[in-house]
């Protein structure tokens, strides 16, 4: 706040009417603070193993300090107050007055969570209870640790500093003596500026320059100040205001201000503060009145008020949306993009030129130019996608904290090992991965790793290890989470699955199949629910989220040895290397990565299992067949369109794909080729259609659906459930084909809407 | 137009201060930390330096000391951005040769007033 009673603005301040709106920088501040908080968290976790690392402490302190500075500037009082107390604690640690004990780090880590909340909180809201509690905690810590017991805020003087004399509006005659030290210039101070500012405070009647101390020229040091001044001026300003002119040189000068005419009213400090108190009381009284009025109006205004709230929520949402919608990109990536665009422009100009003066002999050249353009486009495509790529380490880092928290609350000893943090992954996938990974890590720490005594008894080291690893494999990203904990007890899983009606009591399942059951909705082997990872939901969410990204989850577990969950994801959600196939008169896209092979499909190779569907036998392996014509719900005419009677049925192909963990043969009429396709989401216009992951636009402008091959793996799941209905044993492949057909028919209708 | 060098590691702070100064009719140069500031000062003459104290690489106090050592910059006004509660830092800054200080939380009007107070 600017004191309202400056008798006159500072000379250069003729723009004081201008209102400077800083809210536009709030977003930057929020993003920056979130970064600071994250790096504080990482720093604190590192501090556990290096409690004396001065540079680490310094950087944590700097982060808190920066947040505090900005918070104050944006009027986020709570955040400012909270970081202030945090900063005090960190400062103590930095000056080695306090040690980074586990307790202190614990409190600091909890503060991190509070900081995050405060960052999102409404600036006008009251200080949340957990924040207040932590402030007390911090004060207590500092009280105990410090001999001075000084948890008193050091800034108490701040509030009352520039409060001027309230009603001394009479003109006073002042005599101001200004005697700078010789060293005045060393602070970059220009005494003329000070005098000019002083003069601006009133009307100068007399100004004396005292040059008595000025030495002879031979002895004169031009960098020293030998002069002093005395000024007489008439001003309506209080003495304190005049003194403020010399605020910055108080330590470098002797300043004496005397009043030649006594003020009519003494403006002593107590009098001021009582006026201030009176004013405050007055204001709060009027606030109360306002409140009463509002309360009276409230029945009528309820709706309007809620409308206001709605709008505020809406705008809050928009801001939040804006936040998640932004992305930071390394400059070299952008530079490369600009280079590529440059090349593309050149290629275009060249092509255009050739088309302009076209003659048949130019054709090879033109082809070449188009090929160059294609190369450029492809590379541009890749580079643009790379812009969206973020290192998976940003996600992994988060779990250091998760594991720490669980270890703290359960008394376990857990170490988290991270590998492949530099592996880059599409930003939107990284976001989608957050929840499933949290579930996995929590599960591993909470249910997987055993208590130290249990581990020792089992001949394992007391400290359990959770490993997260990310790497590329065959054009896909693999994320592996493993622990050396108790592993999954398949017997418990079986019991539970029977209890929940997921499998029949007689079902014969392999250990692997049993393990996969924990990915079923509502399945949890832990009987008691912990406060950290406690939920019956969880693993099914993992599976669903991963499938949403066209990925797969796999679990390998051995009782007593630990579990490994492997998530495989495509590199990006937006582009896909596709195999174009024709089915009837339709063109479909199959993700090339899931295609294993293509075999000619003569009718005599198809084995029909009565009532159970068809399989094709390839190298002594029976692979269930899926007729895409039915899958798409094509009519007979449409299905046979484009096939002449001569080749009817005999030129068909089976594209063998990897659907989840099983092979499925998709029956197609023709392979049209392979190309990169841009995946367009269907959900924006249509609802999600089972079996399709989206659609793309072909070169000729037609829309082609993209088959969700991984989604076909859901048939697996279906087949597992069949025995429940039929109280039979687990389904052989053929039965799962029938199951597939049921789904197929169910889906046919919806798919038809699209095609 | 008067040129002011802002030294702060926080982007949002530089944005805010920069915006305020430009609104106030100043030309603004930005530096991320003390070393960056020294590099920029070697190439450009400014009328005033406005520096944060807590910064990586080279902090504000060291920057002030360095500036005061250079003949060409010796008498340059330097304002430091300090925070209430860190009185010791302020004293250190004063001793190093700061011309004045601005106490955060940052207030645009206060900044412009303070500038006017020290700019010749």
* Residue A469 clears pLDDT 90, i.e. is over it: yes
CA R_g for chain B: 13
Per the structure block, which two tokens stand in for A587? 């063109």
- Mapped to the 3 state alphabet, what secondary structure does A683-748 carry? CCCCCCCCCEEEEEECCCCCEEEEECHHHHCHHHHHHHHHHHHHCCCCCCHHHHHHHHHHHHHHHH
Residue B56: the pLDDT is 86
Nearest residue of A to residue B10 by CA position?
A: A66
Q: Report the residue of chain B nearest A88, measured CA to CA.
A: B85
Could you tell me if A239 and A268 are in contact, meaning their C-beta atoms sit under 8 angstroms apart? no
A426 Cβ contact list (under 8 Å, min separation 6)? A385, A388, A389, A390, A571, A572, A573, A574
* Closest-CA distance of chain A to residue B15, Å: 7
Model confidence band, residue A475 (pLDDT cutoffs 50, 70, 90): low
Measure Cα distances from A126 to A111, A121, A438, A498, A605 in Å.
Answer: 17, 10, 31, 51, 75
Contacts of A66 in chain B (CB under 8 A): 9-10, 13, 54
**What is the residue extent of each domain of chain A?**
23-155, 172-259, 331-387, 390-570, 575-754
Cβ–Cβ below 8 Å for B68 and A20: no
How crowded is residue A533: how many other Cβ atoms within 10 Å of its Cβ? 21
pLDDT score recorded for residue A157? 41
Q: Where does residue A321 rank: exposed (0-12), middle (13-18), buried (19+ CB within 10 A)?
A: exposed
Flag the least confident range among A97-111, A293-307, A401-415, B60-74.
Answer: A293-307
pLDDT of A437-468, one tens digit each? 888 888 888 888 999 998 999 889 999 999 99
**How many Cβ atoms are within 10 Å of A200's Cβ, its own excluded?**
19
Q: Answer whether A20 sits within 8 Å of B98, measured CB to CB.
A: no
Give DSSP secondary structure letters for A202-265: SEEEEEEEE-TT---GGG--TTS---EEEEEEEESS-HHHHHHHTGGGTTTEEEEEEESS--SS
CA distance A51 to chain B (A): 20
Q: Which of A268-277, A680-689, A735-744 has the highest mean pLDDT?
A: A680-689
- Could you say which architecture CATH assigns to the domain A575-754? Beta Barrel (2.40)
Which position has the higher pLDDT, A429 or A681?
A: A429
What's the mean pLDDT in A418-447?
A: 85
| Beta partners for residue A680, in sequence order | A695
* Residue of chain B whose Cα is closest to the Cα of A66: B10
Q: Which residue of A has its CA nearest to B54?
A: A62
- The per-type count for chain A, helices as H runs and strands as E runs, is 22, 22
User: Which CATH fold topology does A23-155 show?
Assistant: 1.20.120
Cβ distance B10 to A15 less than 8 Å, yes or no, reads no
pLDDT in tens, A642-673: 554 445 555 788 898 877 667 888 888 889 88
More confident residue, A699 or A336: A336
User: Which of A10, A62, A197 lies closest to B56 in CB terms?
Assistant: A62
pTM: 0.50
pLDDT in tens, B49-75: 999 888 888 988 899 999 988 888 888
CB contact under 8 A, A248 and B15: no
Q: Which of A20, A28, A87 sits opposite B23 (nearest CB)?
A: A20
**Closest chain B residue to the Cα of A77, Cα to Cα:** B105
Looking at the complex, report in whole angstroms how far the Cα of residue A385 sits from the nearest Cα belonging to chain B: 27
Is B111 in the A-facing interface, judged by CB distances under 8 Å? no
Of the listed ranges A245-259, A345-359, A415-429, B82-96, the one predicted with least confidence: B82-96
Assigned CATH topology for domain A172-259: Alpha-Beta Plaits (3.30.70)
CB-based contact, B71 to chain A, within 8 Å:
no
Q: Which residues pair with A568 in a beta bridge?
A: A478, A552
Architecture of domain B3-118: 3-Layer(aba) Sandwich (3.40)
Across the interface, whether the CB atoms of A185 and B104 are under 8 A apart is answered no
Distance from CA of A323 to the nearest CA of B (A): 15
Interface check for B108 against chain A (CB to CB < 8 A): the answer is yes
The whole-angstrom separation of Cα B118 and Cα B80 is 12
Between CA A245 and CA A241 the distance in angstroms is 7
CATH fold for domain A390-570: Heat Shock Protein 90 (3.30.565)
């Amino acid at each position: 706040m600017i004191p309202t009673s400056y008798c006159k603005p500072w000379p250069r301040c003729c723009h004081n009417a201008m209102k400077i709106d800083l809210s536009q920088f709030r977003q930057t501040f929020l993003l920056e603070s979130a970064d600071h908080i994250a790096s504080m968290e990482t720093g604190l976790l590192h501090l556990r193993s290096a409690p004396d690392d001065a540079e680490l402490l310094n950087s944590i302190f700097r982060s808190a300090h920066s947040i505090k500075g900005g918070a104050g500037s944006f009027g986020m009082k709570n955040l400012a107050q909270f970081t202030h107390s945090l900063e005090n604690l960190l400062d103590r640690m930095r000056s080695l007055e306090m040690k980074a004990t586990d307790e202190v780090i614990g409190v600091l880590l909890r503060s991190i969570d509070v900081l995050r909340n405060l960052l999102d909180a409404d600036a006008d809201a009251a200080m949340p209870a957990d924040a207040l509690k932590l402030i007390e905690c911090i004060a207590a810590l500092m009280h105990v640790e410090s001999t001075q017991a000084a948890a008193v805020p050091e800034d108490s003087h701040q509030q009352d500093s520039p409060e001027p004399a309230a009603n001394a509006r009479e003109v006073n005659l002042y005599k101001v003596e200004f005697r700078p030290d010789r060293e005045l210039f060393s602070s970059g101070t220009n005494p003329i500026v000070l005098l000019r500012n002083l003069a601006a405070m009133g009307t100068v009647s007399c100004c004396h320059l005292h040059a008595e101390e000025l030495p002879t020229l031979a002895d004169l040091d031009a960098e020293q100040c030998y002069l002093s001044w005395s000024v007489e001026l008439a001003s309506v300003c209080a003495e304190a205001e005049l003194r403020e002119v010399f605020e910055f040189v108080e330590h470098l000068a002797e300043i004496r201000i005397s009043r030649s005419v006594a003020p009519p009213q003494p403006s002593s400090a107590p009098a001021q503060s009582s006026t201030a108190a009176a004013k405050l009381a007055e204001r709060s009284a009027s606030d109360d009145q306002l409140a009463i009025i509002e309360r009276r109006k409230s029945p009528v205004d309820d709706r309007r008020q809620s409308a206001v709230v709605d709008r505020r929520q809406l705008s809050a949402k928009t801001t939040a949306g804006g936040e998640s919608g932004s992305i930071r990109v390394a400059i070299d990536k952008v530079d490369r993009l600009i280079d590529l665009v440059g090349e593309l422009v050149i290629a275009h100009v060249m092509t255009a030129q050739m088309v302009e003066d076209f003659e048949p002999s130019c054709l090879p050249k033109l082809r070449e130019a188009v090929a160059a353009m294609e190369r450029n486009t492809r590379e541009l495509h890749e580079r643009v996608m790379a812009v969206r790529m973020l290192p998976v380490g940003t996600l992994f880092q988060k779990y250091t904290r998760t594991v720490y928290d669980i270890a703290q609350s359960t008394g376990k000893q857990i170490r988290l090992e991270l590998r492949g943090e530099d592996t880059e992954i599409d930003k939107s996938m990284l976001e989608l991965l957050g929840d499933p990974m949290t579930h996995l890590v929590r599960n591993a720490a909470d249910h997987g790793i055993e208590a130290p005594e249990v581990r020792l008894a089992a001949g394992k080291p007391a400290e359990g290890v959770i490993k997260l690893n990310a790497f590329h494999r065959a054009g896909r990203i693999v994320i592996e989470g493993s622990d050396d904990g108790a592993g999954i007890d398949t017997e418990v899983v079986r019991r539970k699955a029977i209890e929940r009606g997921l499998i029949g009591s007689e079902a014969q399942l392999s250990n692997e199949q049993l393990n996969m059951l924990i990915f079923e909705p509502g399945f949890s082997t832990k009987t008691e629910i912990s406060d950290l990872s406690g939920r019956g939901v969880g693993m099914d969410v993992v599976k669903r989220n991963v499938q949403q990204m066209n990925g797969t989850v796999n679990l390998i577990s051995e009782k007593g040895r630990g579990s490994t969950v492997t998530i495989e994801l495509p590199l990006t959600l937006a582009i896909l290397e596709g195999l174009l196939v024709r089915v009837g008169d339709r063109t479909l896209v199959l993700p090339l990565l899931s295609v294993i092979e293509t075999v000619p499909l003569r009718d005599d190779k198809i084995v029909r299992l009565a009532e159970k569907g068809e399989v094709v036998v390839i190298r002594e392996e029976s692979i269930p067949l899926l007729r895409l014509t039915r899958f798409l719900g094509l009519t007979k005419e449409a299905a046979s369109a484009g096939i002449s009677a001569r080749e009817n049925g005999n030129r068909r192909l089976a594209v063998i794909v990897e659907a989840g963990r099983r092979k499925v043969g998709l029956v197609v009429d023709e392979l049209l080729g392979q190309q990169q396709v841009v995946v367009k989401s269907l959900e924006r216009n249509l609802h999600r259609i089972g079996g399709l992951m989206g659609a793309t636009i072909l070169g000729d402008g037609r829309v082609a659906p993209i088959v969700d091959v991984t989604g076909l793996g859901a048939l697996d799941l279906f087949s597992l459930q069949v025995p429940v209905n039929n109280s039979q044993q687990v389904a052989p492949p053929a039965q799962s084909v029938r199951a597939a057909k049921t789904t197929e028919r169910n889906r046919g209708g919806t798919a038809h809407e699209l095609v | 137009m008067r040129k002011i060098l802002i030294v702060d590691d926080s982007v949002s702070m530089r944005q805010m201060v920069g915006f305020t100064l430009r609104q106030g009719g100043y030309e603004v140069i930005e530096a991320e930390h003390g070393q960056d500031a020294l590099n920029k000062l070697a190439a450009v003459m400014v009328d005033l330096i406005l520096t944060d104290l807590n910064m990586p690489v080279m902090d504000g106090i060291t920057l002030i000391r360095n500036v005061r050592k250079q003949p060409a910059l010796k008498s340059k006004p330097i304002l430091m951005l300090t925070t209430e509660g860190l009185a010791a830092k302020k004293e250190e800054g004063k001793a190093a040769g700061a011309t004045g200080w601005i106490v955060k939380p940052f207030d645009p009007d206060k900044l412009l007033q303070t500038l006017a107070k020290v700019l010749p």
